[in-house]
Amino acid sequence: MSLDSPARGCRETPVLKERGQREVFCGLTGIIWLHRKMQDAFFLVVGSRTCAHLLQSAAGVMIFAEPRFGTAILEEKDLAGLADANTELDREVARLLSRRPDIKQLFLVGSCPSEVIKLDLARAAERLTTLHAPHVRVYNYSGSGIETTFTQGEDACLAAMVPTLAATEARELMVVGALPDVVEDQCLSLLDQLGIGPVRMLPARRSADLPAVGANTVFALVQPFLGDTHVALTRRGATHLPAPFPFGEEGTTLWLWAVAQEFGISRAHFDTVTAAPRARAAKAVAAHADTLNGKSVFFFPDSQLEIPLARFLARECGMTPLEVGTPFLHASITGPDLDLLPEGPVISEGQDVERQLDRQHAARPDLTVCGLGLANPLEARGHTTKWAIELVFTPVHFYEQAGDLAALFSRPLRRKALLTAPIFCSEISRGPGQSPGGQP
C-alpha cells in the first residue's frame, strides 16, 4: 500500500452540519468497556432508571454476577431537596465501598437528570475522596446525553483523571485511550522492539499503574474521540504527536513512525522491526480485498471512529466512502486521517436521522455502517449493514487486528452473497413445483 497522500484529501471538504434526532448512545455507554479496562474501578451513575436500563441493554450485562458499575437511581424524594440527595449519595457510596473492598477508584458519573437538577458531583467527589482516603480515590465526570455522545464518555472520564495525575519531569511516552489488553500488549511490544520507552498507558489497568505527566511527556492518542483529554494533557505541559490512527497496516505504520521519529529511531531500524507485522497485516487485509474492493460505504455517525475507518476502507480495502457521518469532527485530531482520505465523500457532523436515512436510501451504498437501532430496519429495506458498536467493542487496532477489522466489513457482504446466491437456489433446492425459496 502506498504511503503517498491522495491528490486532495478531505481536510478542506466543507462539513455538512446537521442537528435533529440523533440515533446515538449517550456517554454513559463508555462505562461498558472502561470498567473492564480499569480493574479496580467502580462506575456509579447518578441518574434514573433509564440510565440503568441503557447500560444493561447496551451491554447485555446479565452475564456479570455483580458488575463493577451501577446506577444510584434518583427517586421522587431526591428531587425534592438537594441536601438530601447528597446525604443519600454518601450513604450509597459508603455501603458500596464497604461491600466491595477491592475498589480503589470510584467514578461518580453524571447523567441527564443529575445535571438538570444541578447535583454537584464535582463537590461530592471531593467530599467523598476526603472521606474514603487513602484507600479510594473518587473522580467525577459527565456521561450525560445532554453533554456527551457514546465514546465522548471515555474522553470525559480520562480528562477527569488528568488533573490528578502525579507530576514528572521524565521524558516518557504516554499512550492515551482504552485498548483491549491483548492489543495494548501488542502496542507495548512494538514500541519496546523499536527501543521506545518508558511507555505509560492512560487509562491504566490498575490505579497503582497510573502515569505521571509533565513538560517532557509526549503523548499519542489511539482513539480519535479524546478531544478533552488532549486539551487536559496539553494543559499539564505534555506534547501531542499528531498521526493517523493505528487502524490497518498503513495507519499503524504511520502512527508508529510518528512516535519513532519523536524518539529518534532510524528508518532502517523501524523497517526491520515493522517489516514482518506489516506484511502479515497486508496479507490479512488482502484476504478481504476481493469482497470489499470497489464497493461503496456509508457511515452513520456513531463512535467518532468514522474518519479513520473510512480512510482505512478507502486506502487499504479499495472501498468508496459516499458519506462519512461522525458525531463530532475534531479536525485537529483527525486531520492526518482527513489528509489521507481521498476527496469525494460527504463529511457530515451531528445528525438529523430522518434526513440522513433519506440520503442513505438515495445513495444505495453497498455497505451501511450504523447503530443497532437502524441495522435491522435497513436490512429489511434491502441494504447490507455493519453494526457500528462492534467496531468499538472488538479489538481492531494495530497490525495483528488489521485483518479482523477488514473482516468486520466483509462479513455482512459475504453473508448477503451466500443467502442470495441464485445458483444454489436453482440447482439445490428447487424441486419440481417448488418456488425458489423452497416454499411448498
Partner 1 sequence: MKLTLWTYEGPPHVGAMRVATGMTGLHYVLHAPQGDTYADLLFTMIERRNHRPPVTYTTFQARDLGGDTANLFKDAAREAYARFKPQAMIVGASCTAELIQDDPGGLAEAIGLPCPVIPLDLPSYQRKENFGADETFHQICRALVKPMPRTEHITCNILGATALGFRHRDDVAEVTKLLGLMGISVNVAAPMGSSPADISRMGQAHFNVLLYPETGESAARWLERTCNQPYTRVVPLGVGATRDFLHEVAALTGLSPKVDESALRLPWWSASVDSTYLTGKRVFLFGDATHVIAAARIAATEIGFEVVGMGCYNREFARPMRAAAKAYGLEALITDDYLEVEDAIAAAAPELILGTQQERHIGKRLGIPCAVISSPVHVQDFPARYSPQMGFEGANVIFDTWIHPLVMGLEEHLLTMFREDFEFHSDAGPSHHGGKADLRDPSAPEALVDAADASGGSILAKMNADAQAPVTGAPVWQAAAERELKKIPFFVRGKAKRNTESYARDAGVAEISVETLYEAKAHYAR
**What residues line the site for partner 1 (CB under 8 A)?**
19-29, 44, 46, 48-50, 52-54, 56-58, 60-63, 65-67, 69-76, 78-79, 85, 88-89, 91-92, 95-96, 112-113, 115-117, 144-147, 149, 354, 371-377, 379-380
Nearer to partner 1, 50 or 320 (CB): 50
> What are the residues whose beta carbons fall under 8 Å from the beta carbon of 203, sequence distance 6 or more?
34, 37, 38, 157, 158, 161, 178, 210
CB 304 within 8 A of CB 224: yes
CB of 51 to partner 1, least distance (A): 8
Residue 154 to residue 157: CA distance in whole angstroms: 5
Minimum CB separation of residue 138 from partner 1 in Å reads 15
Q: How many CB atoms lie within 10 A of CB 283?
A: 12
**Considering beta carbons, is residue 26 or 165 the nearer one to partner 1?**
26
Residue number with CB closer to partner 1 (147 or 339): 147
Residue 93 contacts by C-beta under 8 Å, 6 or more apart in sequence?
Answer: 44, 106, 128, 132, 138
CA–CA gap between residue 155 and residue 141 (Å, rounded): 10
Question: CA–CA separation, 23 vs 373, rounded Å?
Answer: 7
Is the Cβ of residue 4 or residue 76 nearer to partner 1 in the bound state? 76
Closest distance to partner 1 from the beta carbon of 289 (Å): 30
Q: In DSSP terms, which residues pair with 348 in a beta bridge?
A: 16, 325
Q: Which is nearer to partner 1, 12 or 66 (CB)?
A: 66
Task: Quote the least distance from Cβ 27 to partner 1, whole Å.
Answer: 8
Cβ 430 to partner 1, closest distance in Å? 22
Cβ count within 10 A of residue 361: 15
Residue type, 82: L
CB 390 to partner 1: min, Å: 12
Residue partners of 396: CB distance under 8 A and separation at least 6: 247, 404, 405, 408
Q: State which residue, 20 or 237, has the beta carbon closest to partner 1.
A: 20
